[in-house]
Chain A
Amino acid sequence: MFNTNGIQRRYLGMNQQTRKEEALEEVQPNLQLQGGLRTFAFRPQRMRNEVNPMQDGTVLGARGAHAIALSGISKMFGSVTALHLTDLSVDKGEFLTLLGPSGSGKTTLLNLIAGAFGPTTGTILLGGRDTTATPPRERGIGMVFQNYALMPHMTVFENVAYPLRVRRESAKAIHDKVTEALERVGLRGFEDRRPRQLSGGQQQRVGIARCIVYSPAIILMDEPLGALDKNLREQMQGEVKRLHKDLGTTVIYVTHDQEEALNMSDRICLMSSGKIAQLGTPDELYFQPCNQFVAEFVGESNLISGEMNADGLMMIAGNRSISVPGAMRTEGLELLVMVRPEKVRICGMDEAVTDNSNQLTGDVVSSSFVGGMTRVTIKTDNGLNITAKMVSCRAESRHVSGARVRVCWSSSDTVVLNK
C-alpha cells in the first residue's frame, strides 16, 4: 500500500509545478480514503486536469500509476503492419530504451506515444489520462530529435524560450528558466548564437535544453546521439543519464546502438519486426536473452545447437557432448544454447582444465586486436566456429592463427535459448 508520509514528503520537497501535479495524482486516491474534506480541497486542481472520478478510481487507484500505459495497441500502414498487438507500461521516472534494427517498429512505437499518428487498435494512457486521440501539443511530452530540429532563424535563447512563449510565461520567468536550462546542458554564454554556428553536440544540447525547459512529464528521444561521432556520443550518453537522474523525468529513448542502450537504460525494450522481442533490464537482456534474435542483437554470441541424450548432456556436432545448466531435460529434446565470447577461455593443449568445464579442441582461424579486447576465432575439430574474447596482451603472447588450442567454458555460463 501507499506510504502516505513518504509521498507527502516527496510532495513537499518538490518545487516544479509539474512534479507537484504528478505527486498530487498519486496522493489523491489515498486522500479520498481519508475523508471528503481534503478531497474537496483538491477539487480545483482535479477539475483543471480534467480527470474524471472514474479514471481516478480505475487508473490512479492502481498501485504506482504508470507514466505511460499502452494496451493492445497496433499500427498498420495500409496493408503493412508496422507494430503488432503490443502492451507496454512505463513507470514514472523510468529510463526505457526502445532498441532494435531499423524497421523493427521502435520509431512507430515512439511516434504513437508522441501522437504523430493514432494507433490502429488500442489505447494510450499518459499519466493515467487517455490520450489516444489527443493532439501532440496537449500530451505534455517533450521530444529530442536526431537532426536536432532547431529553428535555424532563432538564436539559442529563442529556441529554448519557444515552448515557454507558447505557454505565455512572463519575460522574467522565461529568462530565468532558459538560463537554468542552458546552465544544465553547459551552454551558458551561447544565448545569442544561431544553431548553425554550433557543433552537432552543442546543437543537440540546445535540443535537450529546449525540451527540459518546460518540464514535460515524459521526454521522448529519437536517436538523439545518432548524428554524433563515437567519443562525443559516449560523453553525451553520460550527460543525458545525469540529467535523467537530476530531473527524474520519464524518458523513452530510441536507439539502434546496443551499447548505448545497455549503458543508459533502466529497462530495454528490444523490438524485432514489429514486436517486442524481450523487455527487461540490461542485465536480463545480456545474461538471459530469451531467444536467438536477442542473443545475437545484444552483444556477441556463440550459438550451439544439439539435442539432449539419456545422460542429461547435450549432444552437439561431431558427436561431442557438453553440459548445460538447468534441470534434467527429456531425451531427444532439441536445444539451442549460447555462450558469450568473453566467457570462453583459450587454453594450451596440455594445460589443466577445471572440472565442470566444456571443452573443444580446434585451430585458431583469426585473431583481431581492437584495443582493449582481442577477439579470437577458433574452428573446432567438430566444425563449429567459436569466438573468444579476452583482455588484450602484447603481440608476442597473442594467439596466432593456425595454433592448436582448446576452448573451454563453464556450463554455468551457458544460456539455454527458447527456439
Chain B
Amino acid sequence: MSPAVLAVIFIVLPPLLYVFYTSVYGPPLSLAAYGEVLTSKLFRQTLSTTLIIASLSSLLSLLLGFVVALHLARQPARRRAILMLLVLLPFWTSILVKCFAFTVILGREGIINNILSWIFDAKVQLPLVLNLVGLLVGMTSFLVPLVVLPVLASLVAIDEAIYRAASIMGAKPPRIFWTVTVPMSLPGVFAGLLSIFVMSLGAFVVPALLGGPQDQMLSNLVDFYNREVLDWQKASAISVVLFGMVLVFAAPLALWRRRKV
C-alpha cells in the first residue's frame, strides 16, 4: 500500500466514519435520524436551494473563468504569469476576509450604492447583499480561480500549429473557437466543473455571511442542528446525505475523465 492510501485510511477516513457512526447511534442504533431529516420540509427546501445555488454559481464561474483563462492563454508567457497573480491573490485570501470585503462593497451603505447615490443625486439602496445576488457574487469570486487553473492548463496545451492549420484551411476565428478551442479545452472544463460544483455543494461561509435567510445551504443546516438545536445525530445524518450527494455527482465526472485521459 502506497503512503497515499495509508494517509487516506488513517487521516481522512476516521472522522468520516465517526460522523457516520454518530448519525446512526443515538443511542440506540437506528436510522431514525435519517427518516426525520428526509421527511422534514426544512431539509427538502434547503436541499433544493443548495442544488440551485451550486448549479447557478458553478455555471457563472465557468463562464467567467473560461473567459479569463482564454485571455490568459493568449498572453505571452511573462505577461501571463503577472496576470495569473491577479487570479491567485483572491484565491489565497481568506474567504472570511473576502466576504467582509463584499459586505463593504455591496452593502446598503456600501461602495456601489454610495456611487450610485452620488450619480443620481438620490438615496440609492439596492439590496445587493444578504440575498441571492450577494451570495452568487461571493460564490463566483471564490470559485473562478478553481476554473481558471484547469481550463488554462488545457488551453495552453493546445499546439499553436493547430490554430495555424485551421486558419490556413480557411476557418474564420469563430469556427476555430468552436471546433478547436472549445472541444480541446473540455478536459479542463470538466475538471474545473467537477471541483467547483463539489466545493459549492458544501459551501458554508459564503451563504452564512452574504446570503439571506432564504439562501441557506445544507452546510448551514448542519451548523444549525449542531449549534442551535444541539441535535448531533441529525446534523451527522445531513452531513452523510451531503457527502453521498457529492459522491453521486463527482463519480460520473471522475470516471468520464479517466476514460478520456
Contacts and interface: CB of A to CB of B under 8 A. Distances in A.
A141 interface: yes
B164 A136 contact: yes
B4 interface: no
Majority secondary structure of chain B interface residues (helix, strand, loop or mixed): helix
Interface in B164-182: 164-172, 175, 179-180
B167 A210 contact: no
Interface in A136-162: 136-139, 141-143, 145, 147, 149-153, 162
B162 interface: yes
* For the complex of A and B, 8 pairs with smallest distance between CB atoms: A149-B161, A163-B169, A149-B165, A166-B170, A137-B170, A153-B183, A143-B168, A136-B168
Interface of A: 114-116, 135-139, 141-143, 145, 147, 149-153, 162-163, 166-167, 210, 214
B214 to A, nearest CB: 42
Nearest to A140: B170
Contacts of A149: 159, 161-162, 164-165
Contacts of B170: 137-138, 163, 166-167, 214
Interface in B140-178: 159, 161-162, 164-172, 175
A151 B179 contact: yes
Nearest to B182: A153
B250 interface: no
Contacts of A136: 164, 167-168
B184 A114 contact: no
Majority secondary structure of chain A interface residues (helix, strand, loop or mixed): loop
A114 B179 contact: no
A135 B164 CA distance: 11
A153 B171 CA distance: 17
Interface centre among B164, B165, B183 (most CB of A within 10 A): B165
Contacts of B159: 147, 149
B165 A145 contact: yes
A249 to B, nearest CB: 15
Given A162-B171, A167-B170, 10 more contacts: A136-B168, A138-B170, A145-B165, A149-B162, A150-B162, A151-B180, A151-B184, A162-B166, A210-B165, A210-B169
20 contacts: A114-B168, A136-B164, A136-B167, A136-B168, A137-B172, A138-B170, A139-B168, A143-B164, A143-B168, A145-B164, A145-B165, A147-B161, A149-B164, A150-B162, A151-B162, A151-B166, A151-B184, A152-B184, A153-B184, A167-B170
Nearest to B172: A137
A141 B168 contact: yes
A149 B184 CA distance: 13
A139 B164 CA distance: 13
A18 to B, nearest CB: 13
A114 B164 CA distance: 9
